[in-house]
Amino acid sequence: MLVVDDAFLFAVLAETAPEDLQAALDQGELFTTGSWYWRLARALHDAGSAGALSRGMDNLTVDQQARVTASVHRLPPQVGLLSLRELVPVMATLQAGRQLNLLTAEAVAVAVVLDASIVVTTDSPLLSDSRARLGIEVRGVAP
C-alpha cells in the first residue's frame, strides 16, 4: 500500500504520475489523507491561487482551466481515504510527547494502520522523525 501526498494525488488523478503510482491506483493500493486532499483542493481554489494558476495554464482555455481545477472535486473509488472517526485515536496516541501537526499525524497514522509506505514530493522534519522512530518508509520522489 502507498500513501501519497497532495501533489501525487493531483498527478494520479490526471494520469501523469509515475507508472508505479498509476498501477497502485488501478490495483486499489493507493491512499491519500484528508489533510493532503484538503491542501490540494485549497491550493487549486484559494482566491490567491487564481493568478498563478491561470499563468501556469495559459495554453488552455478558461473552460479547460476550470475542468482541471474541478478534476479534484470527486475522488474515484480507486483512491483510499480512511475516516477520522477511527484514525483520531491512533493520531492521538502518536501525538503523545511530540508535536505533530494534523497533516503529519494523519499521514503517519494512515501509514502505520495500513503498514504502507508514504510517497511525498517534499519531505519534512516531522515525517523524517516518524520514519526514524516508527520504521515507516517515506519515499521522496520528484513530481
Partner 1 sequence: MATRPVHLDSALQEAVNRAREAFASSGQLRPKPGPYTSPLSEQERRAVATLLRDGTYRQLADAVAADDPDIANL
Residues numbered 93-132 forming contacts with partner 1, rule: CB under 8 A: 93-94, 96, 101-104, 109, 111-117, 121-127
Least separation in angstroms between residue 114's CB and partner 1 is 7
Q: What cell numbers appear for 132 in the block?
A: 526514524
Identify residue 3 by its one-letter amino acid code.
V
16 contacts partner 1 (rule: CB under 8 A)? yes
- Let me know: does 41 contact 47? Beta carbons within 8 Å: no
Q: Which residues ranging from 41 to 80 are in contact with partner 1 (CB under 8 A)? A: 42-44, 46, 48-49, 52-53, 55-57, 59-60, 64, 67-68, 71, 76-80
Q: What cell numbers appear for 46 in the block?
A: 484559494
Least separation in angstroms between residue 121's CB and partner 1 is 7
Q: Nearer to partner 1 by C-beta: 19 or 116?
A: 116
Least separation in angstroms between residue 19's CB and partner 1 is 13
Between the alpha carbon of residue 62 and those of residues 49, 68, 70, the distances in Å are: 15, 10, 12
Which of residues 1, 18, 140, 141 is near partner 1 by CB under 8 A?
1
Total binding residues for partner 1 by CB under 8 A? 83
Which of residues 4, 62, 98, 135 is near partner 1 by CB under 8 A?
135
Which of residues 18, 38, 140, 141 is near partner 1 by CB under 8 A?
38
Q: What cell numbers appear for 122 in the block?
A: 517534499
Number of Cβ within a 10 Å radius of residue 120: 20
**Nearest Cα residue to 35 out of 23, 43, 46, 25:** 43
Task: Read off φ and ψ for residue 81, nearest 5 degrees.
Answer: -145, 110
